[in-house]
Amino acid sequence: MRSREVREEALNALDISDENCRFLFNTIPMPVFVLDRRSLRILDCNESVEEAYGYRREELLQTSFLNFFEESEQQNLALELRTSSMLNHVTQITRGGRTILVNLRTSRSQYGGRSALLVTASDIISILMVKPQLIQASKMATLGEMTAGIAHELNQPLSVIKTASSFLLSRATSGETVQPELLRAMIEEIDGHVDRATGMVHHLRDFGRMSQKVLEPVWVNEVIGRVLDIFSQQLRLRQIEVVRELAPDLPTVQADSNRLEQVLINLLINARDAIEEQQEKQCALGERDRIVVRTSVVRNHVRIEVQDSGVGIAEAVKGRIFEPFFTTKRAGKGTGLGLSISYGIVQDFRGRIEMESAEHEGSNFIVYIPVSGTDHAREDSDRR
Ligand SMILES: Nc1ncnc2c1ncn2[C@@H]1O[C@H](COP(=O)(O)OP(=O)(O)O)[C@@H](O)[C@H]1O
Ligand SMILES: [Mg+2]
């Protein structure tokens, strides 16, 4: 029998009020709730709950377990909790509005003479996030995907430099003089393009570095600008127009620009793939193939939207796209890590990612990140 089942069976048979059993109950490394089976109120929970959900046990006792779900989903989930033994990939809202993606296992039990429901939660995103190497591996895969676009981008300054140097060389070889103003203008041109190429190389090197996981004030529009600098060329080549609708004077958010870049690149790659898939289906380039990157401020959060006119997401898979290793792309193209890693990163910023999508119409991925210095952001640093 698997160890979790052993534990649950032990719990079923024992009275948690006993000191030894309480100790056992509390040392289970995953959140366990004891619910009243009829009302779904929380009768008891272990210490792992405090860590995962951010509430103290006393605050939760006698409150409804359904409070952890979006209001619109509460009725459905209440039914599922009572009737099925496994609920996969449900979103729960923890203290401060942070969302976690969990698998819930339920089993029937008795508690203080009442019929109870034992619920164990495993937080699948956090399990994944424990491994910084995985974030890094996904970043490397992203870099690999971007190579073609970057090579193209580097080609432009190089070809300008080549044209200028060929011209100067031919003049030097033939002994012709070059007007001092022209010479100066050309050297300035070369100098500017060398700086541009160097900037790109530095940027790539920085992006490839392992992030330090420190949160600091970040200008979102600036990060978007940097990402689009290295990305728009390859989108243009695919006839995809990028529209920037960036709110001026955005406040800074409490984040890490390196990891925020990773999130934006993941969303842009997905948008690009979705549009390409749509183009393949129509056997033509669409006229309205475009990605809109939009920023705004909403209730102490900066909202970043990456909206595409791609294939959209089928209803049947909507609930699974943030799951690690879930991909609908062919082998070699998708790793299924982009969204789950992005979800984890944004969660680390105390923010959240939402998705709106209609099949054949396109998708919009919306990221909310707390503005620096607000309660949402402060709660984050208090907890660290
Ligand atoms: N913008 C989008 N449009 C349509 N489908 C999307 C979009 N973004 C993500 N998806 C779906 O979510 C899945 C998971 O995305 P992701 O985690 O980035 O992995 P990958 O891109 O490697 O498949 C994709 O395979 C795709 O089915
Ligand atoms: Mg992806």
Q: What CATH number has the domain bearing residue 369? A: 3.30.565.10
**How far, CA to CA in Å, does 382 sit from each of 60, 94, 189, 260, 377?**
21, 16, 50, 21, 9
Residue 192, domain member (yes or no): yes
Residue 49, domain member (yes or no): yes
Overall pTM surpassing 0.85 (yes/no): no
DSSP letter assigned to residue 166: H
More confident residue, 135 or 301: 301
Distance CA 279, CA 272 (A): 10
Q: Which of 146, 262, 270 to mutate to test the pocket of ligand 1 (most atoms within 8 A of CB)?
A: 270
The domain in which residue 92 lies consists of 3-124
The total of structural domains in the chain comes to 3
Give yes or no: residues 45 and 188 share one domain: no
Structural element, H or E, at residue 338: helix 338-348
Ligand 1 atom 7, closest CA: 270
Q: Which of 35-44, 117-126, 190-199, 238-247 has the lowest mean pLDDT?
A: 117-126
Residue 236, domain member (yes or no): yes
**Residue 11 pLDDT exceeds 70:** no
Residue 139, domain member (yes or no): no
Give yes or no: residues 85 and 194 share one domain: no
Give yes or no: residues 240 and 202 share one domain: no
Q: Which of 125-139, 244-258, 271-285, 347-361 has the lowest mean pLDDT?
A: 125-139
Distance 330 CA to ligand 2 centre (A): 12
Give yes or no: residues 371 and 239 share one domain: yes
Instruction: Examine the fold and report which residue of 124, 159, 174 is the final residue of a domain before the chain moves on.
Output: 124
- What's the pLDDT at 267? 96
**Residue 6 pLDDT exceeds 60:** no
Interval 182-204: pLDDT, tens: 999 999 999 999 998 888 788 77
With contact defined as beta carbons under 8 Å apart, do 87 and 77 qualify?
yes
Give yes or no: residues 160 and 102 share one domain: no
Ligand 1 shell residues, CB under 6 Å = 266, 270-271, 274, 308, 310-313, 321, 326-329, 334-340, 363
With contact defined as beta carbons under 8 Å apart, do 204 and 247 qualify?
no
DSSP letters of 188-214? HHHHHHHHHHHHHHHHHHHHHSPP---
Distance CA 308, CA 273 (A): 10
**Residue 10 pLDDT exceeds 80:** no
Q: Which of 272, 271, 262 is nearest to 227 (CA)?
A: 262
